[in-house]
Amino acid sequence: MTVLAAEDEANRVPAPEPAPEEDSALTRLTGKPMPADRLRGWLVTAVVGLLGGFVRLWNLGWPTDHGTPVFDEKHYVPQAWQMLRNGGFEDNAGYELTVHPPLGKSLIAVGEWLFGYNGWGWRFSAAVAG
């Protein structure tokens, strides 16, 4: 062995040891995500979504005033029905309530188009949109 080879051997830095896995508080609480967690995550999301949909849509058409709209629905449901029948325009001077924007009335009109002029039709879009 030459002198230079001996010096190289003496100056050689040992290879670093692999860093220990990070043991943060978040990792200790939640655990490491594993490929098996993916299915469980989708199932939990689906169950929560179905439960939320059930709670929102259960008895949606029930609260009516003897079959007529309730509270602000008395104003905006007929306006939405008129927009649905007139291609998106209101032409009745009595419906000049512009407190709510046309988008809300258009969403009500979508529900009325799907389910008709009843409680389900009036409230479906708002229940789905949240």
In a domain, 109, yes or no: yes
Number of helices and strands in the chain (H, E): 6, 0
- Predicted TM-score of the model (pTM): 0.58
119 Cβ contact partners less than 8 Å away, ≥ 6 residues apart: 60, 61, 62, 63, 64
The single-letter DSSP state of residue 19 is P
Tens of pLDDT, residues 24-74: 777 778 877 666 678 888 999 999 999 999 998 888 878 777 777 777 777
In a domain, 22, yes or no: no
Q: What is the domain count for the chain?
A: 1
> Which residue range(s) make up the domain with 95?
73-129
Tens of pLDDT, residues 53-66: 999 888 887 877 77
d(CA 59, CA 81) in angstroms, rounded, equals 22
Amino acid in position 95:
Y
In a domain, 33, yes or no: no
In a domain, 95, yes or no: yes
In a domain, 91, yes or no: yes
Tokens 């309530």, residue located: 97
d(CA 90, CA 79) in angstroms, rounded, equals 7
In a domain, 108, yes or no: yes
In a domain, 58, yes or no: no
Q: CB neighbours (10 Å) of residue 74? A: 11
In a domain, 65, yes or no: no
Across the range 75-91, mean pLDDT stands at 79
